[in-house]
Structure 1
Amino acid sequence: MFVIKLILAVLVLCGVAIYVINLNLVAKPTSVAGIESDHYQDDKYHNAAARIPMSFSETAALWLRFFTEKKINTTPNIAIPVQSISRADLNALSNDTLHIVKLGHSSILLKVYGEYWLIDPVFSDRASPFNFAGPKRFHQPPITLEDLPPIDKVLISHNHYDHLDKASVKILLSKTKQFFVPTGVDGDLISWGVAADKITTFDWWQEQETTQALVAFVPTQHFSGRGMSDGNSTLWGSWVIKAPQYSVYFSGDSGYFSGFKDIGDKYGPFDLTMIETGAYDNDWADIHMTPEDSVQAHIDLKGKTMMPIHNGTFDLAFHTWYDPFDRVVAESERRDVVLSTPEFGQIFSITDPAITRHWWKTE
């Protein structure tokens, strides 16, 4: 039986590879991407600390896990609670502070002193290049793209399918004033119809003053790629937003690294950190944090309140769907960290008390 599963896994992998190649599912970085960056060499971006690449046998073993390992409770056995919101609800929010809505996975809607900002908007049913395969949503977004008010800024952390969604961008391009993206990612946006003059690219540690807040793009320890031949051809990172009175941090995806402390020293403290807490595994611990690492990252960043993201929407790993929540709650209590766990669609303001209801619990 093991041999049969192995043969099937290889055949499926080969079939997917051929399909991907035929569809040319690769990033389209701009030709000038990275030329002046000190972490761009040999047409690739690199993490500040070099990653040890997986050997062929390790890669094969990982693929075998994906095709043969039995998953337990990786999809919810409860209806994920989602609070529906309307444009009227959003417009009724005040324009003198910062409001936050967790839309799903790592997708965040902010109202920044009257302006609407989206971070990593993924509204498609699957985090995948295909509409028939790949991780499928556990729940629908609390608002549709069409019902969103005009968007002032869309911020993208990196080009993986669970963070950069082509279908969402194609709808947003007509109602969005500006796109802030890592260097190289502009190539995809332009190919999808976004006007070049709407796009601003960022290298690590680059800043831009806007009318509402200072925005800075800062490092993470991760990678990029949308196909089988474009690995690390575009940059990845995280976002700092420093408004007049309040500061927030959005982690994107990252393994735990010393850069969190550097970011905290330069831009902290943060009133709210939105930290990746999900899709982790020992086989890729250097690029996705455990919940315990996520809490440590929040402490390094000098955060006041932490909101775990990158969870509750897609099955992207082998852990149970609720494991990120249970572990981050336990670790935050152990480390005396203020944790906020809003439901999807639950609107809150930066000065509101932390939301502590454990909505993922069945009892």
Structure 2
Amino acid sequence: MSLRPATSSSPAAAPATSATPSADNKFHNPISRPKTKTGFWAGLRLMWAFFNKPAGTVPEQPVPTQALTREALLAAPDRSLFRLGHSTVLLKLRGVFWLTDPVFAERASPVQWLGPKRFHAPPITLADLPEIEAVILSHDHYDHLDHETVRTLAPKVKHFLTPLGVGDRLIDWGIAADKVRQLNWWESTTVGGLQFTATPAQHFSGRTPFDGNRTLWASWVMIDDDLRVFFSGDTGYFPGFKTIGERFGPFDLTLMETGAYDPRWAYVHMLPEQTVQAHLDLRGRRLVPIHNGTFDLAFHAWQEPFERIAAAARAHSVEVLTPTIGAQLDMVQPAPTPAWWRASAEASPLAAVPSTAT
């Protein structure tokens, strides 16, 4: 796969580092992977664990969602946000719509007859979505980049913003090359008056056993005049959050990975307590936990990420917002959000997680 240069982009001020493929045409993380026990038996034990998961990784009751319509989206006030599931977030800025990591498929998998199945349907269909100014992609894993979703969306999307190499996948899938802008870490581009900068993340890429790390992964900084939003994509905790915060913060809102974690792979997926620390490093004001509530991708109870992020946020006086899937969230003056993942509001004294830290 070739790596086409970014289109209409420029380096952010004095980048500290950028991602450069090594001699084997692979990208690498900002810091090296810690040494862990690997090998055939470790891999076999992990595989066995995935096929013998504990109870509770999938909800027993339907996940509450709020249905959306095109008319409701068009009527929504500017600077509204809607969680559509997992890391798919729809933002309304400057009267148009921006979409992160769109996955509307039934399963986060290369095939739709096997693999992690959705807990809930998307709150709106692809056909009912309004025109999209830009789709912002963090990397090419199946729970963030779905072939059929992208192909179906393409006619109503003006721009696709991707890390290096991911745009080549889109072009190979038939997306018009002039719609695609590929950015290296610390490169910026302007779309519809908004500034987007691809920033480092600590993760990996690939869609087959043979193409690992041949495309780049990234987090994103989005700037709309006085509003600054950070989208983490998938990442482990690393010192780069502090650098991003120093360069682009403070952020009004951070959309932060909180889910599908495990201590065994914390290098590439943050634990909830690390998510809160990353938010603090970014100099964030309000935190919206994403990458949760839609797919069973780890061994923790499906609702655990919400409970742990809420507890960690309270301990550090961080505002955390947990909108119901499909509900409108005001990015500037949010109302309190419910603990919708709980089966009963009376089951716990933490039954409502306020948007204002206490």
Structure 2 length-normalised TM: 0.89
1:165 and 2:146 matched: yes
Q: 1:62 aligns with which of 32, 36, 46?
A: 46
**3-state SS of paired residue (1:248):** strand
Displacement of 1:31 in angstroms is 4.8
Supply the distance in 1 between the matched residues of 2:81 and 2:47 (Cα, whole angstroms).
Answer: 37
CA spacing shift, 1:281–1:141, aligned 2, 3 Å: same
CA spacing shift, 1:290–1:246, aligned 2, 3 Å: same
Displacement of 1:354 in angstroms is 4.8
Supply the distance in 2 between the matched residues of 1:92 and 1:280 (Cα, whole angstroms).
Answer: 37
1:251 and 2:212 matched: no
**3-state SS of paired residue (2:155):** coil
CA spacing shift, 1:53–1:230, aligned 2, 3 Å: farther
Q: 2:29 aligns with which of 29, 36, 47?
A: 47
1:285 and 2:285 matched: no
Displacement of 1:177 in angstroms is 0.6
Q: How many residues align?
A: 331
**3-state SS of paired residue (2:293):** coil
1:179 and 2:151 matched: no
Displacement of 1:148 in angstroms is 0.5
CA contact (8 A) 2:58 2:296 kept: yes
Supply the distance in 2 between the matched residues of 1:133 and 1:72 (Cα, whole angstroms).
Answer: 20
Q: Deviations over 1:220-255 (max 9, x none)?
A: 100001010100000001111010121111100001
Supply the distance in 2 between the matched residues of 1:203 and 1:342 (Cα, whole angstroms).
Answer: 32
Which one-letter code corresponds to 2:172 in the other structure? S
**3-state SS of paired residue (1:149):** coil
- In angstroms, what is the RMSD of aligned CA positions? 1.6
Q: 1:88 aligns with which of 61, 71, 90?
A: 71
Q: Deviations over 1:87-143 (max 9, x none)?
A: 11111123xx42110000000001111111110000000000011000000000110
1:321 and 2:302 matched: yes
Q: 1:361 aligns with which of 333, 342, 345?
A: 342
Displacement of 1:268 in angstroms is 0.5
CA spacing shift, 1:128–1:38, aligned 2, 3 Å: closer
Bigger fraction of residues in helix: 1
Structure 2 stretches lacking a partner, 5+ long: 7-16, 345-358
Structure 1 length-normalised TM: 0.88
Q: Could you say which residue in structure 1 is the equivalent of 2:126? A: 145
1:239 and 2:220 matched: yes
Which one-letter code corresponds to 1:202 in the other structure? L
Supply the distance in 1 between the matched residues of 2:234 and 2:336 (Cα, whole angstroms).
Answer: 23
Supply the distance in 2 between the matched residues of 1:325 and 1:31 (Cα, whole angstroms).
Answer: 38
Displacement of 1:291 in angstroms is 0.6
Supply the distance in 2 between the matched residues of 1:131 and 1:272 (Cα, whole angstroms).
Answer: 34
Supply the distance in 1 between the matched residues of 2:249 and 2:3 (Cα, whole angstroms).
Answer: 34
1:108 and 2:54 matched: no
Supply the distance in 2 between the matched residues of 1:362 and 1:81 (Cα, whole angstroms).
Answer: 10
Supply the distance in 2 between the matched residues of 1:102 and 1:178 (Cα, whole angstroms).
Answer: 20
Supply the distance in 2 between the matched residues of 1:326 and 1:190 (Cα, whole angstroms).
Answer: 40
Supply the distance in 2 between the matched residues of 1:152 and 1:327 (Cα, whole angstroms).
Answer: 34
1:308 and 2:295 matched: no
Q: 1:207 aligns with which of 188, 205, 208?
A: 188
Supply the distance in 1 between the matched residues of 2:235 and 2:301 (Cα, whole angstroms).
Answer: 20
CA contact (8 A) 2:272 2:312 kept: yes
CA contact (8 A) 1:339 1:355 kept: no
Which one-letter code corresponds to 1:59 in the other structure? G
CA spacing shift, 1:260–1:31, aligned 2, 3 Å: closer
Q: Could you say which residue in structure 1 is the equivalent of 2:9? A: none
Displacement of 1:75 in angstroms is 0.5
Q: 1:274 aligns with which of 232, 240, 255?
A: 255
Supply the distance in 1 between the matched residues of 2:213 and 2:113 (Cα, whole angstroms).
Answer: 26
CA contact (8 A) 2:18 2:186 kept: no
Report the identity percentage. Answer: 47
Q: Could you say which residue in structure 1 is the equivalent of 2:2? A: 30
Which one-letter code corresponds to 1:175 in the other structure? K
CA contact (8 A) 1:339 1:354 kept: no
Q: Deviations over 1:25-74 (max 9, x none)?
A: xxxx325579x96532021000011114652143333223223x332100
Supply the distance in 2 between the matched residues of 1:193 and 1:38 (Cα, whole angstroms).
Answer: 26
Which one-letter code corresponds to 1:199 in the other structure? V
Which one-letter code corresponds to 1:229 in the other structure? F
Q: Could you say which residue in structure 1 is the equivalent of 2:103? A: 122
Supply the distance in 2 between the matched residues of 1:303 and 1:143 (Cα, whole angstroms).
Answer: 29
CA contact (8 A) 1:39 1:48 kept: no
CA contact (8 A) 2:254 2:288 kept: yes
